[in-house]
Amino acid sequence: MSDAYLALEDGRVFEARGRVPGRTRGELVFTTAYTGYEESLTDPSYEEQVLTFSYPLIGNYGVRTERFESERVHPRAAIAREFTEEVVEWLDSESVPAIDHLDTREVVTSVRDQGAMKCGIAVGDDVTPEDAKAELKKCKGMSEHVDIGKQVSTAEPKFFAGDDGGSDATVALVDCGAKGSITSSLTARGADVHLLPYDASVDMVEETGADVLFISNGPGDPENFEQAQALVEAFTGELPIAGICLGQQVVANAFGGSTEKMMFGHRGVNQPVFDLDTEQVVMTTQNHGYTVADPGELEVTQVNVNDDTAEGLEHGKMNVLTRQYHPEANPGPHDSLGFFDDVLTLASGTEVPLAD
């Protein structure tokens, strides 16, 4: 086993066991999910972050590629109380530094109390605390990558045919870092999906013959996804519009709203959401560090039970429907899978009973 050190922005340095060697840096965040480590590690929304698992044992049911949400691991490094050998082998095959045997409870509570912070990690046979501090120093003063969408989006349009016997809708899904299960949730309902680059043009959307414009989840600041916002503005009133996670934030900005960075975000599979219309609470899967501060012309229809942040936005006249959480789950509860049915109902030209 090699040496490992984690240096935090608040000045503390944690000693750990090195599992995969390397040196890196990034924004330190945590997830409270008990399961779904494969999905979390392959979620593009974790791009350029260092992911800490609050659950103590990661890897207890192996690694299966069919659970992956994308083609690679996205966090710059992974931290746990203990990783199994199978997870270590997987991370090693992708050259993603990994450490364990440290007090992840203290790491998580530090982020919870002080907010997401920058960190530096050094793993190797001869590393020192100064090596981790040097990595941290490299990221101090650096702003978030403004073109992060390019790192996680498809480079060329892709087509996914819908299953037989379902909806005949066509979806233009703008890939700002989309999870694979968003596409499969739509095709399973019979929809044809055109996966488009994050900077797709109006012409590219029109060429698909889409019945609905869908903005995906993704990493970073939604204000950096200017072309996705421009698409929403261009097709407002022309096509129904849907969005998930970062997609909700992009749509809100397009409708005159605003977004802001959260203290430590929502990352886990047990986030309670209250529906203002039905007065019911559903449990949801979430992974985001930004939220809608002002919905602009949109109406807030769902809120987070813990902090009242906007979880659902709608505009009945303009056929807009968005969710801050991940209705497709993977992992997580399936309480909100009906969102995809509502989106495809909008796409078919049939009204969904949205809030007035």
**Residues placed in the known binding site for L-glutamine:** 45, 218, 220, 246, 249, 287, 289-290
Of the candidates 232, 222, 178, 212, the residue with the CA atom closest to the CA atom of residue 310:
222
9, 27, 311, 328: which one is catalytic? 328
| Residues 67 and 267: beta-carbon distance below 8 Å | no
**CA–CA gap between residue 324 and residue 311 (Å, rounded):** 5
Asked if 286 and 49 count as a contact pair (C-beta separation under 8 A), the reply is no
Q: Return d(Cα 19, Cα 17) in angstroms, integer.
A: 6
Could you tell me the sign of the dihedral formed by the alpha carbons of 258, 261, 264, 266, in that order? positive
From 245, 288, 311, 314, the catalytic residue: 245
List phi, psi (to 5°) of 132. Answer: -65, -40
Q: What is the DSSP string of 222-274?
A: GGG-HHHHHHHHHHBTTB-EEEETHHHHHHHHHTT-EEEEEEEEEEEEEEEEE
Tell me the binding residues.
Answer: 45, 218, 220, 246, 249, 287, 289-290
Give ∠ CA 223-227-233 in degrees, rounded to 5. Answer: 90
Active site residue 299: no
Tokens of 157: 């349009």
* Annotated catalytic residue 328: yes
Would you call 74 a catalytic residue per the annotation? Answer: no
Peptide bond into 331 cis (omega under 30): yes
What positions carry a catalytic annotation? 245, 326, 328
